[in-house]
């Protein structure tokens, strides 16, 4: 008796395993053309033994291929903070990963409702000051106060955040793809909308050891979600970056804290208060006419020529305050697994669902923070004698 398989599921599983269509066809012992027809057929009938081979080869449960697939997430649906040279293969993988995350979220939402989406969608030509205010209102934040834990507030506003790291990684079969894991992928983060009606924004981040870059990337993707719900524009990256700076450090509020003569020393204190990198802050001040072009160039030159004595790298790489905060991590996905299933162990979730392999679930939750009473501290971590630089050591001579 033949079984009814969804071709889209076969293609999705192959993409998530980073395998080539021809490679799968060879292992199955049939022509590449047959594999292509299978993957692009809405439904296909296979012998149970063939399904068992596909399941074993792609390391997905047989049930996965028998269930109707969720709505597609295409490369064009990704709102990206990625280099132009990002390979199409990497984008295809990230699109399928986001779709899988969306399916898991829908499955959980059917058991315990996820937070309603509160992030507004605004026209792309909205001023950054107004867009920042609108999002801060949605996050229940005043306009003149720093954001303590952006990821936590995003998730409360209905936007799940996934951090992909190398703690658990999907199996990679193509030797050429060994570099394509969450550590070496070219993107920093991306967002898209998932679900049956594409009404749930999701942000996926690449694991990053810098608290500044994590906060910046999250704010950048929040800009995409807010301003580019109808698709990217030629200026979308610049818009999202300008939004990120305005959201983290509103120009109207920061203006009041600037001295008459702006230096990297004075900006370090502003950086630590508002949780924004010096590099982004300098650009933000210049864009809002808070420092002139000459001062902007001087500050940037200093940033990339002065050395961090603790790391041996320039301040452009390891800024003053690089170790002053803990890296923000999400919690929503594991919280909902615990609420729905009583446990957030990948193998248990995979077994209960019967649809997804444990390593795929693990890759979604490996970057989630452990259960605590409160979000991570936003102040300085516990001092480490060999790894702490005091503010006094960051002080610079007035330039």
> Which CATH number fits the domain that encloses residue 61?
1.10.260.40
Instruction: Say if 342 falls within a structural domain.
Output: no
- Return the closest-CA partner of residue 69 out of 42, 46, 89, 49: 42
Q: For the chain, which ranges sit under pLDDT 70?
A: 81-82, 166-184, 186, 372-399
Q: State residue 173's pLDDT score.
A: 39
Looking at the structure, tell me whether residues 258 and 291 fall in a common domain: yes
Looking at the structure, tell me whether residues 57 and 82 fall in a common domain: no
Looking at the structure, tell me whether residues 61 and 88 fall in a common domain: no
Both tokens of 38, joined, read 């299978």
Instruction: Say if 343 falls within a structural domain.
Output: no
Instruction: Say if 130 falls within a structural domain.
Output: yes
- Pairing relationship of beta strands 200-206 and 161-164 according to DSSP bridges: parallel
Looking at the structure, tell me whether residues 1 and 85 fall in a common domain: no
- Sequence-distant (≥ 6) Cβ neighbours of residue 368 within 8 angstroms: 163, 329, 330, 331, 333, 334, 344
Domain boundary (69, 90, 120) is at: 69
Instruction: Say if 370 falls within a structural domain.
Output: no
Instruction: Say if 170 falls within a structural domain.
Output: yes
Q: What's the CA gap between 333 and 126, in Å, rounded?
A: 31
Domain hosting residue 3, numbered range:
1-69
Length of the chain: 399
Cβ atoms of residues 284 and 263 within 8 Å: no
Looking at the structure, tell me whether residues 65 and 100 fall in a common domain: no
Percent share of the chain, pLDDT over 70: 87
Cβ atoms of residues 194 and 98 within 8 Å: yes
Instruction: Say if 344 falls within a structural domain.
Output: no
Tally of domains in the chain = 2
Domain boundary (23, 49, 69) is at: 69
Looking at the structure, tell me whether residues 38 and 92 fall in a common domain: no
Looking at the structure, tell me whether residues 33 and 181 fall in a common domain: no
Q: Is the pTM of this model over 0.85?
A: yes
Instruction: Say if 345 falls within a structural domain.
Output: no
Cα 238 to its chain centre, rounded Å, is 18
Q: What's the CA gap between 316 and 207, in Å, rounded?
A: 20
Q: What's the CA gap between 327 and 376, in Å, rounded?
A: 8
Q: DSSP assignment, residue 69?
A: P
Cα 371 to its chain centre, rounded Å, is 20
Looking at the structure, tell me whether residues 131 and 244 fall in a common domain: yes
Cβ atoms of residues 304 and 314 within 8 Å: yes
Conformation bin of residue 231: beta by default, left when phi > 0, alpha when psi is -120 to 50: left
Question: Both ends of the chain: CA-CA distance in Å?
Answer: 80
Looking at the structure, tell me whether residues 211 and 324 fall in a common domain: yes
User: Using CA atoms in the order 257, 258, 260, 265, what is the torsion angle rounded to 10 degrees?
Assistant: 120
- Sequence-distant (≥ 6) Cβ neighbours of residue 316 within 8 angstroms: 279, 303, 304
């Amino acid at each position: 008796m033949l079984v009814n398989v969804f071709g889209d599921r076969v293609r999705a599983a192959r993409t998530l395993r980073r395998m080539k269509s021809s490679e799968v066809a060879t292992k199955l012992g049939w022509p590449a053309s047959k594999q292509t027809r299978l993957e692009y057929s809405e439904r296909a009938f296979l012998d149970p033994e063939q399904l068992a081979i596909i399941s074993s080869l792609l390391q997905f449960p047989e049930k996965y291929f028998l269930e109707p697939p969720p709505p597609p997430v295409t490369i064009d649906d990704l709102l990206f903070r990625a280099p132009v040279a990002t390979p199409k293969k990497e984008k295809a993988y990230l699109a399928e990963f986001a779709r899988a995350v969306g399916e898991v979220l829908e499955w959980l939402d059917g058991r315990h409702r996820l937070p309603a989406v509160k992030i507004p969608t605004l026209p792309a030509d909205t001023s950054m000051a107004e867009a920042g205010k609108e999002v801060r209102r949605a996050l229940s934040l005043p306009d003149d106060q720093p954001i303590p834990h952006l990821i936590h507030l995003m998730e409360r506003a209905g936007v799940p955040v996934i951090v992909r790291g190398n703690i658990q990684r999907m199996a990679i079969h193509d030797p050429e793809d060994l570099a394509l894991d969450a550590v070496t992928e070219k993107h920093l983060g991306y967002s898209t909308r998932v679900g049956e009606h594409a009404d749930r924004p999701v942000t996926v981040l690449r694991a990053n050891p810098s608290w500044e870059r994590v906060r910046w990337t999250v704010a950048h993707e929040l800009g995409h979600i807010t301003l580019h719900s109808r698709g990217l524009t030629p200026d979308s990256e610049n818009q999202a970056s300008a939004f990120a700076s305005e959201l983290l450090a509103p120009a109207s509020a920061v203006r009041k804290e600037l001295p008459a003569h702006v230096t990297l020393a004075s900006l370090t204190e502003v950086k630590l208060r508002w949780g924004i990198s010096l590099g982004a802050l300098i650009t933000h001040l210049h864009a809002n006419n808070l420092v002139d072009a000459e001062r902007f160039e001087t500050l940037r030159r200093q940033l990339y020529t002065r050395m961090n004595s603790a790391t041996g790298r320039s301040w452009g790489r390891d800024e003053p305050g690089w170790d002053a905060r803990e890296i923000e991590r999400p919690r929503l996905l594991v919280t909902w697994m615990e609420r729905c299933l009583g446990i957030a162990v990948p193998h248990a979730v995979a077994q209960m669902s019967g649809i997804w392999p444990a390593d795929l679930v693990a890759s979604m939750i490996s970057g989630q923070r452990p259960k605590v009473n409160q979000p991570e501290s936003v102040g300085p971590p516990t001092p480490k004698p060999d790894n702490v630089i005091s503010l006094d050591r960051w002080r610079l001579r007035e330039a």
